[in-house]
Structure 1
Amino acid sequence: MSQHVLSTEANRRQLQQIIACLSDGVILLDPDQSILWANEAALAMHGASQISDLGANAKAYTQRFALRYRNNHVVPVDSYPISRLARGETFSDVLVDVASAADDERSWVHRVRSLVLADSRGEPESLVLIMDDVTDWASAEQRFEKTFAANPAPAVICRLSDLRYIKVNPGFLEMTGYARDQVIGTSTYELDVLDLAENKELARQRLCEGVTIAQMQAQLRLADGGSKQVIVAGQPLELNDEACMLFSFVDMEPRHKAEIALRQSEERFAKAFRLSPVPILLCGAADQRVLDVNDAFLDTLGYRGEDVLGSSIAQIDFIDDKNARIWLFATLEKTGSLDRIDVRLRRKDAGLIDCAVSADTVNIQDIPCYLLVLMDITERRRTELELVSAIEEVMKDASWFSRTLIEKLANVKSVNSPKLPSVSFTDLTARERDVLGLICEGLADKEIAARLKLAPNTVRNHVAMAYSKLNVHSRSEAIVWARERGLFSSEWRTKGQG
């Protein structure tokens, strides 16, 4: 064996000893393209247990492993790093996905470079393929890419070394109308995302220093030449080992339009509230404190604004019946609305007004409130009472006529009257029900006392309690109340036929 051969073998053994324990994968090729040796790291990066698993030479290697670029394009066989090395090429930082041709479920990402070792005569002596396993890095980058692209918030990333944009997500393109190639490679001076920012000089300084840019308002120039109000913020990050700045944006236009629509809606509500000829009151749902009233409310009830604003409904005490007030707000809390409930109100001068109350729940600045609309029905009620009084006069001398008329009146009132509070016949005691039945037969208090064998005062007490519970004020109203609910009608028919 010649001295040259011995020298070459010695050099290779020394080289193998040096690189055997390196974390980088190393594959040695002979100038004839045969694979001479590989360290443990290189074998692990290919899922191989021995050198023969890599193939006998460069051509065999290309048959055992499938390579793709990071854009998922297939690497042509003559462009494989090992093929290029076999031709004596030197290169650096070639990034490829490597998978076994027999089992593509297992794959790695290699960053590959080459080295050609020459002998003393300058002839290639050893071809070295050096690879770094960057699978974890590539997976993290892939996750970042997916997250960045899927993020609905508009965003761009610029490289700090030259302040050029290197990534843009669909949200930014959709918001601004730019195409991707109009953004990628463009400098921050050409497409200035900090244009007209609240503190542009500070933001520029922080961009150059590569530190966080606090969110601030800015004007973003659009592809069609217009502009858009945005909130912009910058966050430094490293991408592909390069210092970068991630700019994210919040489009202020939808919020601005919503604010305008809300303001216009509030203005319309305020005008309708003020100009309505019907008394209206607005109070908090939680504490029933009066937040606002219109002029019609003040005029109708005789109060001044300072008398009611800030006070609770209970403190003002303008609802004549305490129980009616408690029932009204308990029902509002439970159902959220009321429709034309008859309530008697007390003016500041102690005069009484009959009203039909409708109410609904509204949100004012995200606070639940009750809006009460009070329709004055005093005149209508007075007319009804006068009619009932006239009927009572007729009843004294013509009970047969009065009963027929009462039935017709009951039918008319049941059609035209508003919803009644939910008072049930069963809310009356047994004795009060007996008394109501005899009232419907047309008996006077003395006759009822004799029929039930009670003292006249006791009968009067039962009548008063029944009136209170039914919210009626006379015998005729009590008869109408019973007729509306179909009570005692058989007794009426019997007497009418008799």
Structure 2
Amino acid sequence: MSQDILSTETNRRQLQQIIAGLSDGVIVLDPDQSILWANDAALAMHGVEHVSDLGANARAYTKRFALRYRNNHVVPVDSYPINRVARGETFSDVLVELTCAQDQEQRNWVHRVRSLVLADSRGEPESLVLIMDDVTDWASAEHRFEKTFSANPAPAVICRLSDLRYIKVNPGFLEMTGFTRDQVIGTSTYELDVLEQAENKELAKQRLREGATIPQMQAELRMADGSGKQVIVAGQPLELHDQPCMLFSFVDMEPRHKAEVALRQSEERFAKAFRLSPVPILLCGAGDQVVLDVNEAFLDTLGYPSEQVLGESIAQIDFFDDKNARTRLFSALEKIGSLDRIDVRVRKKDSELIDCAVSADTVNIQEKPCYLLVLMDITERKRTELELVSAIEEVMKDASWFSRTLIEKLANVKSVNSPRLPSVSFTDLTARERDVLGLICEGLADKEIAARLKLAPNTVRNHVATVYSKLDVHSRSEAIVWARERGLFAGAWRNKGQR
């Protein structure tokens, strides 16, 4: 054996001993493309145990292992790193995804590969070396980031800090701005400046230069059509492909801005309608019934100054003539949420009484439930009705045969025009009060009722007053209508009709 050959073999053994324990994978080929040796790290990166499992040469290797680029395109056989180094090429940082054809589970590895050509003393290639890093974990993490970044509905872009050019953009940003991917990727932050209209632009620019976190701040982002959109922008530094980058994320404030404008316009319309309405309107809290606001018509109609109404509870103002009616009104409102044209009697500041039809509904003011009460003055209508009833009663004194038809007509009118609050039923009256009501329906006067029931006239008057209060009526004719509406004292009606 010649001295040169002996020296070469010695050098190879020494080189193999040095690199055997390295974490980098190393495969050594002969210039004739045969695979001479591989360290344990290289074998593990291919999922094999012996050098022979890699194949006898570069051609056999390409049949045993399938390679793809990171974009999932198949690596042509001529471009396999082992074939490139076999041709004497030197290269670095080639990323390939490798699958072993013999692995039934189809496990994948990701290698970052570089080549090394060792020459002899004459400059001829003596050994061809492939050096590879197992970057599978890094690639897997990057893949998860890529999927998360693309799937994130929040608009986002990533710029490289070394040259401030955008290297990634997600669909959310493209959809929000109207830009295409090609219009963003590779563009400088000077051309597409996402911080140009930021409320604290100087701080944001300084943080970008320093590669530090950019706090959330309002900004106006330029759209593809030249218009602007209100957003919240923030920046977060990160490492991507071993390069320092800045992740810009955005919150589209346009829907919120439109909702705020619509809400403000709605509130303005409500306020104008509230103020300008000629009908008295009152707004109070649902829980405590404290008056929050009233319109001018309310103050003018009831004669109160605003300082004696605002901030006071309805009970303290005490403008409902009948406390029981007030209690029933708000109890009904609490149960069903709204009321339509309920007859109540209201006391003005000067103690004058007026009849009102109250309509009410539940509204939310600044997320607080409130009651909106609309009071329609029906005093004139009530007066006309009472005058009509009085006239009918006067006629009935001499034409009792006419009474049943008139009372039925009057009952129909009352039921259509005057909705009432839920009130007491007939069973809520005492036995004596029922007797008194029945005799009223027969058309008897107080003295006649006293004689029939053998009671003192004052006692009868007290019973009649109690019946009026419980039924929320104000005259004998209204009491008769109340009973007729409920089909009470049918015998009394028949007897009255036969008089």
Normalised TM-score (structure 2): 0.91
Shift of 1:163: 0.8
Q: Which residue is 1:237 aligned to? A: 238
- Cα gap change, 1:425 to 1:5, in 2 (>3 Å): farther
**Amino acid of the residue matched to residue 328 of structure 2?**
W
CA distance in 2, matches of 1:466, 1:366: 43
CA distance in 1, matches of 2:431, 2:73: 92
Shift of 1:296: 0.4
2:404–2:496: 8 Å Cα contact kept in structure 1? no
Shift of 1:303: 0.6
Q: Which residue is 2:412 aligned to? A: 411
Shift of 1:281: 1.1
CA distance in 2, matches of 1:191, 1:339: 59
Q: Which residue is 2:45 aligned to? A: 45
**Amino acid of the residue matched to residue 163 of structure 1?**
L
CA distance in 1, matches of 2:5, 2:426: 120
Shift of 1:381: 1.5
* Unmatched tracts of structure 1, length 5 or more: none
1:22–1:41: 8 Å Cα contact kept in structure 2? yes
1:154–1:170: 8 Å Cα contact kept in structure 2? yes
CA distance in 2, matches of 1:34, 1:224: 60
Normalised TM-score (structure 1): 0.91
CA distance in 2, matches of 1:457, 1:57: 128
**Amino acid of the residue matched to residue 25 of structure 1?**
G
- Cα gap change, 1:45 to 1:341, in 2 (>3 Å): farther
**Amino acid of the residue matched to residue 14 of structure 1?**
Q
DSSP-derived class of the 1:45 partner = helix
* Unmatched tracts of structure 2, length 5 or more: none
Q: Which residue is 1:368 aligned to? A: 369
CA distance in 2, matches of 1:15, 1:453: 134
Q: Which residue is 1:148 aligned to? A: 149
**Amino acid of the residue matched to residue 397 of structure 1?**
D
- Cα gap change, 1:30 to 1:324, in 2 (>3 Å): farther
CA distance in 1, matches of 2:73, 2:314: 76
Bigger CA drift: 265-274 or 251-260?
Answer: 251-260
Shift of 1:462: 4.1
Cα displacement string for residues 445-472 of structure 1 (whole angstroms, at most 9, x for unaligned residues) = 4555566666655554444333222211
Cα displacement string for residues 169-207 of structure 1 (whole angstroms, at most 9, x for unaligned residues) = 222222222211111111111112222333323322221
CA distance in 1, matches of 2:257, 2:205: 27
Cα displacement string for residues 19-45 of structure 1 (whole angstroms, at most 9, x for unaligned residues) = 333322333333333333333333333
Matched, 1:204 2:237: no
2:198–2:219: 8 Å Cα contact kept in structure 1? yes
Q: Which residue is 2:64 aligned to? A: 64
1:341–1:421: 8 Å Cα contact kept in structure 2? no
Shift of 1:486: 2.9
Matched, 1:161 2:159: no
CA distance in 2, matches of 1:484, 1:325: 23
Q: Which residue is 1:84 aligned to? A: 84
What's the RMSD between the two structures over aligned residues?
Answer: 2.6
CA distance in 2, matches of 1:345, 1:62: 99
Matched, 1:55 2:44: no
DSSP-derived class of the 2:46 partner = coil
Shift of 1:302: 0.2
CA distance in 2, matches of 1:362, 1:209: 52
Shift of 1:375: 0.8
**Amino acid of the residue matched to residue 228 of structure 1?**
K
| TM alignment of 1:377-392, pairs within 5 A | 377-392=378-393
CA distance in 1, matches of 2:327, 2:109: 75
CA distance in 2, matches of 1:432, 1:395: 24
**Amino acid of the residue matched to residue 127 of structure 1?**
L
**Amino acid of the residue matched to residue 39 of structure 2?**
N
CA distance in 1, matches of 2:280, 2:185: 63
Bigger CA drift: 362-371 or 342-351?
Answer: 362-371
Bigger CA drift: 321-330 or 183-192?
Answer: 321-330
CA distance in 2, matches of 1:7, 1:327: 113
Q: Which residue is 1:311 aligned to? A: 312
Shift of 1:419: 4.7
CA distance in 1, matches of 2:239, 2:159: 11
| TM alignment of 1:165-204, pairs within 5 A | 165-204=166-205
Shift of 1:310: 1.8
**Amino acid of the residue matched to residue 113 of structure 1?**
R
2:118–2:128: 8 Å Cα contact kept in structure 1? yes
CA distance in 1, matches of 2:106, 2:437: 90
- Cα gap change, 1:74 to 1:489, in 2 (>3 Å): farther
CA distance in 1, matches of 2:490, 2:292: 48
Number of aligned residue pairs: 498
| TM alignment of 1:108-119, pairs within 5 A | 108-119=109-120
| TM alignment of 1:289-438, pairs within 5 A | 289-438=290-439
Q: Which residue is 2:258 aligned to? A: 257
- Cα gap change, 1:277 to 1:6, in 2 (>3 Å): same
Cα displacement string for residues 310-348 of structure 1 (whole angstroms, at most 9, x for unaligned residues) = 222222121222233233333333333222222221111
- Cα gap change, 1:399 to 1:185, in 2 (>3 Å): same
Shift of 1:388: 2.0
Shift of 1:431: 4.5
Bigger CA drift: 79-88 or 303-312?
Answer: 79-88
CA distance in 2, matches of 1:420, 1:451: 33
